[in-house]
Amino acid sequence: MSVPDYMQCAEDHQTLLVVVQPVGIVSEENFFKIYKRISSVSQISVRDSQRVLYIRYRHHYPPENNEWGDFQTHRKVVGLITITDCFSAKDWPQTFEKFHVQKEIYGSTLYDSRLFVFGLQGEIAEQPRTDVAFYPNYEDCQTVEKRIEDFIESLFIVLESKRLDRATDKSGDKIPLLCVPFEKKDFVGLDTDSRHYKKRCQGRMRKHVGDLCLQAGMLQDSLVHYHMSVELLRSVNDFLWLGAALEGLCSASVIYHYPGGTGGETGARRFQGSSLPAEAANRHRPGALTTNGINPDTSAEIGRAKNCLSPEDIIDKYKEAISYYSKYKNAGVIELEACVKAVRVLAIQKRSMEASEFLQNAVYINLRQLSEEEKIQRYSILSELYELIGFHRKSAFFKRVAAMQCVAPSIAEPGWRACYKLLLETLPGYSLSLDPKDFSKGTHRGWAAVQMRLLHELVYASRRMGNPALSVRHLSFLLQTMLDFLSDQEKKDVTQSLENYTCKCPGTMELLTLPGGPTLPPVPFTKLPIVRRVKLLNLPASLRPQKMKSLLGQNVSTKSPFIYSPIIAHNRGEERNKKIDFQWVQGDVCEVQLMVYNPMPFELRVENMGLLTSGVEFESLPAALSLPAESGLYPVTLVGVPQTTGTITVNGYHTTVFGVFSDCLLDNLPGVKTSGSTVEVIPALPRLQISTSLPRSAHSLQPSSGDETSTNVSVQLYNGETQQLVIKLENIGMEPLEKLEVTSKILTTKEKLYGDFLSWNLEETLAQFPLQPGKVATFVVNIKVKLDFSCQENLLQDLSDDGISVSGFPLCSPFRQVVRPRVESKPVNPPEGSKPGDPSHVKTLEAILNFKYSGGPGHVEGYYRNLSLGLHVEAEPSVFFTRVSTLPATSTRQCHLLLDVFNSTEHELTISARGNEELILHAGECQRMAIQVDKFNFESFPESPGEKGQFANPQQLEEERQEARGLEIDSKLDVHWRIPSLKRRGEASVEGLLNQLVLEHLQLAPLQWDVLVDGQPCDCEAAACRVGDPVRLEVRLTNRSPRSVGPFALTVAPFQDHQNGVHNYDLHDAVSFVGSSTFYLDAVQPAGQSACLGALLFLYTGDFFLHIRFHQDSASKDLPPSWFCLPSVHVRALEAPA
């Protein structure tokens, strides 16, 4: 016997073998349709008996195996069923002849046979026959199963007769010697009368009768015969048949202990219904067993079946039988099948280690030279058996050997499909799954080197199958899951192969259906590159939407009447974890930052990398990047544009690497940090872009400002200079710009600013609104730098050495003085701090212009945007006022303001005041300018509002009052400077220079005294009169103080000034008073006026001065001297006309 049946199991020993074959030409479909119906009748109960007959059907059975039928009767073909097509009566004789030819093949062992004829009708078909059944077609054959049952009953009759015939002890008859084919030549010439020979004959016959009893459903009898056979054969050392007797004993015991069968799923599939379920077996077995095969009353069963082996003894007897088989080279098939049967029994007993020993023995059993197909079958069965006992890796090993055998070089047409199918079946044994999700969690399972080898073989097999998509999928899986175990060279080789494959068939994210039906999940390249962090970025500061504050917004945050609700708190927590607290805007480019790194030892080119989103229609703008070899964390920004509003969720990203498209979901990425992936998209807003007439600034604003500016511009101005900043507002969005508000913020500065630093008129700009997309509006801002013009201490020290008094005392003359700059007398390289033009004197001013704008659907929803323009102004000093003092003028209502002006620029500079000619100052030069100004009535300034006065402190009020006075004086002076070479001009302010003493000198006295000569005020110029004519003199007092003053007494004393410091008051002969020289004024009420009159007579020509003195009395002592400032009276007496 050369063809092993790897599907053999112990319970097959009780079956009758029936071969079902076609005769002539029968379609495979029709044949197997009938074969399936025939094989469904696999067991029948014997009439008037509790015995059951089991049938094993085969549609192909080697005749040489039939020769071993005496050795084990279940190997003997006892029934033949043939199926044929015959459509005409003339073909019938030939068909029936073929049936007889077919019977002759198994003729020596057949008990009975049947012929099923399909298609023949008429007289022949109507003749009643027992061995032939006629059917009109393959559909109209309802009696097939009944025919088979009758056929099996006829087999049983023959079997029973043979059993009875052999079992009857006929001592007078000679017992024949049963032999296996290879023994016949060895028994030629033996002494048939020897006792040894007779025992051999008896032992073999007992074993044969035991087989027949087992087939006939007489389990107890078979056990008795097997035991007797074992004893007889052991005594004569007939080892081959002793092994068969022991195996029969084991089979009968297995059938008793395990009525459910040992074939498992394979046996059930191969022999449909060949093993009774436990419930059915209970009706036919003398001892009823439970469903798990363990008898509840063991002692009773042993009493009934004392010859039955225990489960442990079964294995021992199998081992003994196999050891006997191994002594015979020609019994290799028997030995192999016994090993397989023992393994199936051990699998049920869950004794895996012992089962593996039997299988290991089966591996090394040498059979004849097997064909490639037989080798594949052998390795496949070994694999299944190892799987059955739980040796998954060993099972996978033999399955892989079978797969490689399918494409052995000796095969003319290699079976790559079968190879691929078998390789797929090996995957579980090597802890390998084709789902990449199984490799994303926990540590790696299995031997990576073996898994990589297997994946390479899958790639090659799928390529040879002509399925490049499968090759790409398996190679992608290898690269994704085994990346950590690949060497640098292997990484290069695998990626090169992958690129070669994807040139013809790009990798996709579609499910691939395998030939057997299962599907291959997609393999996203989540490790090429590896992503460590995903962060949704807020829009740039200039594009971030802000919600207009609502008065009701804070009161409707929750509708719950309770102060605290754990349900609400929990929901808010979940929402906070999911949704990010900023918004994206419909139609604007949004960004997501990924921190990635390249684990490959070469540059990684990632193409078509974009975002995967849900919830909102989103246009992803793919990016391409190139990561250096084994790079560290590398930031990559992916962008896209939301097209609709709502809540958008970033689910992951997609890439194309090595020609493979991948959709990488964040949920499947291990170890990825993310601060949230859901954000709200609000309706579209306009986008404002600003451009200015000034250059961009290289300086950044102070970090403490807290404002992010989109653009910074810088300008250099001299102190006092004003420049226009022209800003172009362009709507670069898709929505109209409808609303605009402009505010400014001056950042913290140590310098005191005078006047408005930034000023503008928004009405002209708003007249151009709404600003349609693509349109431009113009906005003008005036930048005015007006810092303190007082000089610094080091410069004051320098100038004081040059002879100008800085003590604040009045000089003797209002004339200008020119001072030499001290540069010549200083060292060649003076310290930087002492240079007037040193950059340390440059002041830096910073401000922010905020443009708050809105429009479109976003405006309707209450959103706006803020755009900030940073302004960096470097203010260089222009002129310094190093000293300020006053001199009285000829008029009591005027005075001279003396300013020492220093040119701190490097250019020639001119300075002028209102009504004065320009004064030229060279670089570093200091000059004095005198400005005649009218005195100021500061008391007329309005007081601070009542509310402000109520809460402000007196010191603050005084400072504000002084600032107001300085502003009034500065506006009257109107001091301007000009640099002709640069064509630049500006103001020079004295606001911060005026001390209390100077302010008092510039202030009009509360008592205003006017002296009139002949009705003409004489304050500045000399009054002319004729000698001998009386001159009328009037002294008028206007009370501007808040109190009543007077009465006063005044004496008029004329004198002459000789211009040498001598005043001559002895003028009794030259001047005569008409009346008294003393004038009296009554008390004057506030805002009242009073006057006194007198007259003088000049007797000679000349220049005369009148000195008016107050009498020292109580009325004048209470008032300050500055209140009695009367103008000097100059009278020029001319000769009378002839």
- Cis omega (within 30 of 0) on the bond before 515? no
Place of tokens 């004489």: 1018
* Residue predicted with more confidence, 404 or 674: 404
The C-alpha atoms of residue 593 and residue 585 are separated, in whole angstroms, by 17
Would you state the pLDDT for residue 186? 73
The C-alpha atoms of residue 695 and residue 713 are separated, in whole angstroms, by 6
Per-residue pLDDT tens digits for 667-692: 888 778 887 889 999 999 999 988 88
Question: Closest by alpha carbon to 1116, among 1041, 1048, 1037, 1039?
Answer: 1048
Would you state the pLDDT for residue 264? 66
Instruction: Choose the weakest-confidence range: 495-509, 637-651, 935-949, 1030-1044.
Output: 935-949
Question: Closest by alpha carbon to 1091, among 1103, 1081, 1076, 1099?
Answer: 1081
Calculate the CA 492 to chain-centre distance: 28
What percentage of the chain has pLDDT greater than the value 90? 37
Instruction: Choose the weakest-confidence range: 235-239, 431-435, 835-839.
Output: 835-839
Per-residue pLDDT tens digits for 100-155: 999 999 888 999 999 999 998 888 888 888 889 999 999 988 899 999 999 999 99
DSSP string, 101-159: HHHHHSTTT-SEEEEEEES--SHHHHS--SSEEEESSSSS-TTHHHHHHHHHHHHHHHH
Contact indicator for 502, 472 with CB cutoff of 8 Å: yes
Question: Closest by alpha carbon to 258, among 282, 292, 217, 300?
Answer: 292
Q: If 0-12 CB within 10 Å is exposed, 13-18 middle and 19+ buried, where does residue 256 land?
A: buried
Would you state the pLDDT for residue 305? 52
* Residue predicted with more confidence, 295 or 1048: 1048
412-416: average pLDDT: 88
624-638: average pLDDT: 90
Sign of CA dihedral 249, 250, 255, 257: positive
Would you state the pLDDT for residue 671? 78
Res. 938: pLDDT tops 80: no
Would you state the pLDDT for residue 680? 93
- Residue 1051 bridge partners (DSSP): 1078, 1109
454: CB partners within 8 A, 6+ apart: 400, 423, 426, 427, 430, 432
**Three-state DSSP state, 376:** helix
The C-alpha atoms of residue 871 and residue 865 are separated, in whole angstroms, by 20
Tokens found for residue 20: 């079902």
Distances (CA, A) of 850 to 307, 541, 744: 106, 12, 6
Tokens found for residue 479: 């690269």
754-767: average pLDDT: 85
Tokens found for residue 806: 């800085």
Backbone dihedral angles phi then psi of residue 992, each to the nearest 5 degrees = -90, 5
What is the chain's Cα-based Rg? 62
Question: Closest by alpha carbon to 990, among 1006, 975, 1001, 1008?
Answer: 975
Res. 410: pLDDT tops 80: yes
Instruction: Choose the weakest-confidence range: 294-308, 811-825, 858-872, 1094-1108.
Output: 811-825
Backbone dihedral angles phi then psi of residue 623, each to the nearest 5 degrees = -125, 155
Tokens found for residue 690: 């600003």
Q: How confident is the model at residue 1051 (pLDDT cuts 50, 70, 90)?
A: confident
**Mean pLDDT estimate for the chain:** 81
Would you state the pLDDT for residue 702? 60
Would you state the pLDDT for residue 242? 96
What is the largest distance, in Å, between two alpha-carbon atoms of the chain? 212
270-280: average pLDDT: 36
